[in-house]
Structures are given as structure tokens and as C-alpha cells.
Amino acid sequence: MKSTAYLDHAATTPTRPEVIAAIAEELAVGGNASSLHTSGRAARRVVEESREAIATALGCGPSEVIFTSGGTESDNLALKGTWWHRHTHDARRRRLIVGVTEHHAVLDAVEHLVTQEDAEVDWIDVDALGRSDPDQVRALIERDPGSVALVSLMWANNEVGTIQPIAEVATVAHEFGIPMHTDAVQAIGQVPVDFAASGVDLLTASAHKFGGPQGAGLLLARRDVALTPLTHGGGQERQLRSGTLDTAGIRGMALAATLATGSLGAEQEKLAALRDKLIRGALDLGLDIEVTGAHEVGDVTTRLAGNAHLRVPGCDGDSLLYLLDAAGIECSTGSACQAGVPQPSHVLLAMGISEDDARGALRLTLGHTSTDADVAAALEALPAAIDRARRARSASRNGR
């Protein structure tokens, strides 16, 4: 069987072995954390110990951790929950100020509020490197501060890996008494994330991006932030997220967060070295490949250590993806949630990249299982895949 080089950690990173063992152990025990008998209390103990472990890993208080099913639910609770509450209590607060390159979990929640509710949205632009300017956020707020319900800007971009000035934007928002949310799904385990130090009021995370299980996530929410819940029922999680808690998934997520943040420095160094080798090797192929975003050697402050985003002129990204997959290289053209969607990436378009160039995008992302062999395999497979993809595109355009 052909060996596979997995270079799609931004979509999901393999569950850590220790996490798998912890989840399996918990699944064998059972117990509903809302029950009052012995099994229920045991499950509740696991949940609360996990909450404390996550608080330690992410620099927040245990009571600020709200467990959810993942990043999408957390983003929706943050965006819709804040807007509903603030707009209900002050009808003037209709505006959302949101990053233009956000994940669709944020963008589609915003679209719902705009098309189905009474919301308005102003977009935070990005420059050619994908970075937003806190001064633009200030200018957008100053147009009418009393109309703003929430500012939302992702910590690190899921496609091109750009790290945003979150603390600076949070400072601006708070000058006007406006809460701020950040989607930090891609950041945890790749950059230092300290909820208290960042100044944000709401933070989204998803376990499967840092070595935990799929289907487990969290929203960090300061105690003084008021949210309207998306669901109603048993009143779990500060009455903000009703439903029986996934004790095993929560235990696995907490362990993954502890492991990912505990090894952060060494992991950043390892991934940045692999990323730089991958980028340098791709550029040295002489195939006119271009790099999207900042790509200084060793940089882990403006670009995620594990992100290498390439653009290959004359190729359709999907064709290139399938050809690489056939060669044993698993990667993506962008967000896994948008896989198979024929439109060019909204992130690349917002960065000023043309539609034609954006169609040749290739996202290769590294993680805790990545090795030099993975990078070497990708570089070996690229020339033939690019040649075939270019010939296929040329033939398609010529009607053959």
C-alpha cells in the first residue's frame, strides 16, 4: 500500500495517542455529569477537572469555559448570542464589525443575522499579507459607537496562516465598551493563547485542531458578557449551552490542550523549520510557484509555524489536489468546510489576489506528526502533479 504524507493538519490533526487512551477509558465508565448518584458525580468530577485543566492551559478562569460541540457551534453562540442580547436590550446596537477573511462559521452566522434579523455588518479589511489594521477598526467604530454590538476578528487565518493583532483590536473595542470575539480555532497549539492577557471577551476553540477528538469544542466567555443561548433545555454550561455533556470528549480535549500548550515552544521551532524547508523547496523547483502571505524564515509571530500556502499559476487547485492525493500527498486548496466549492477563496480575493491566481491555491499544513519525510515526499510529487494539472487546464481551455 502506498505510504501517505499527511499535510492537512489545519483541517484536522491526528488525535494524540494519550488522548485516545483517555477517551477510551472514560467511555468504559459511563455516567451522566448532570446526575446526582455516584456515577453522575464521578462524571461531573471529570468534567470539572477538565475545565480546570483547560483554564490553566488557556489563561482563563474555570467558570469562563463553556463546552460545545466544536468551533462552528462556538462561533454561532458568540456571534448570534451576543447580537441577540445586545440588540434586544438596545435596538440601536445593530452593527457587527467582522474580519473579511473569517471562517464560514463566522461569515454564515453573520449572513443569517443580516438577512433574517435586523443586523448590519462592516468588514475589517486585510492587506496583501492578510493582516488587519486596528486603526480601521477604530474608524469603523467611531462612525457610530452606540450602534455596534460586537467586534469579531480571527486570531489566525485557517487558509494562509496570518496571525492578527488581537490584543490591539480588543483594546480599541474596549475603549468604546464593545465586546470582542476571536475565532482561535487555528491558534491553539501553534501560538501562545492567553485569554486574560489577550483582552478578548469571547474565544472559540475546537479540540480536533490541537490533537483532541472531533465533535468537542469550547467557547471562553468572560463572566460579565451576556449571551442569549442558541438552544434551551437542561440549562447546562451557565444556562448558555443546554445538553448532556460529552464527558469523554471533554476529558480528551482537556488533555490535548494541556499537551499542545505544554510543548508549544518546541513544536513551533520544529514546525517552522519544516514549513521553511517546504516553502524553500517549492520555490527552488523553478515552476513559478508563489507563496501567499509573509514567509520570513523562522517566523512564528506573523504566520502560523505549520502553514505553507502556495499558488501555482496555470493550475486548478482541485486538479492539483487530486493528482497529489494519487501520489500519496494529502493536502487541500483551502478550508475543508469549503472543499468542492468551485469559487475562488474569499480570503485570497480579500488579499488582492486575482481570481485566476486564486484558483491555483494549495494549502499544505503541518502538525505534531509531521516529519522531514513528509516534506520530501511533497516536494518530490509536486513537479509531475503540476505538469499534469497545467496540461489538463490548457486542454480544457482549448476545448480538447
Terminus-to-terminus CA distance in the chain, angstroms? 34
- Which pLDDT score is estimated for 396? 72
Taking alpha carbons only, the member of 11, 25, 65, 57 closest to residue 259 is 57
Per-residue confidence (pLDDT) for residue 205, from 0 to 100? 98
- Taking the whole predicted model, whether its pTM rises above 0.85 is answered as yes
Residue with cell 487512551: 21
**In the predicted structure, residue 398 carries a pLDDT above the cut 80:** no
Q: What's the grid cell of residue 21?
A: 487512551
d(CA 183, CA 192): 14
Looking from the CA of 257 toward its CB, the CA atoms found within 13 Å total: 30
| pLDDT tens profile 206-259 | 999 999 999 999 999 999 999 999 999 999 999 999 999 999 999 999 999 999
CA distances from 136 to 32, 123, 294 (A): 48, 10, 21
Positive or negative: CA dihedral 46, 49, 53, 54: positive
Categorize the per-residue pLDDT at 335 as very low, low, confident or very high, splitting at 50, 70 and 90.
low
- Could you tell me which of 89, 34, 2, 14 has the C-alpha nearest to residue 328? 2
- Averaged pLDDT score across all residues of the chain: 95
Residue 337 banded pLDDT, cuts 50, 70, 90: low
For residue 59, which phi and psi values (nearest 5 degrees)? 70, 45
Q: Hunting for cell 477573511 — which residue is that?
A: 101
* Mean pLDDT across 147-171: 98
Task: Identify the pLDDT of residue 392.
Answer: 87
pLDDT greater than 50 at residue 1: no
Phi-psi region of 270 (alpha: psi -120 to 50; beta: other; left: phi over 0): alpha
Q: Using pLDDT thresholds of 50, 70 and 90, give the confidence band for residue 395.
A: confident
All domains in the chain, ordered by first residue: 5-13+264-397 (3.90.1150.10)
Residue 393 has pLDDT above 90, yes or no: no
Q: Select which of 60, 315, 331, 337 is catalytic.
A: 337
Is the pLDDT score of 336 beyond 90? no
Mean pLDDT to the nearest integer, 146-169: 98
- Categorize the per-residue pLDDT at 334 as very low, low, confident or very high, splitting at 50, 70 and 90: confident
pLDDT beyond 70 at 339? no
Instruction: Give ∠ CA 49-55-58 in degrees, rounded to 5.
Output: 140
Report residue 214 as a C-alpha cell: 472531533
| Catalytic site includes residue 315 | no
Q: What does the pLDDT read at residue 399?
A: 61
pLDDT at site 30: 86
What is the per-residue burial (b if ≥16 Cβ within 10 Å, else e) of 249-261? Answer: bbbbbbbbbbbbb
Radius of gyration of the chain (CA): 22
**What CA–CA distances, in Å, run from 126 to 137, 225, 280?**
11, 28, 25
pLDDT digits (tens, 9 = 90+) for 299-329: 999 999 999 999 999 999 999 999 999 999 9
**What's residue 342's pLDDT?**
64
Yes or no: say if 22 and 217 are a contact pair by the CB < 8 Å rule. no
pLDDT bracket for residue 394 (50, 70, 90)? confident
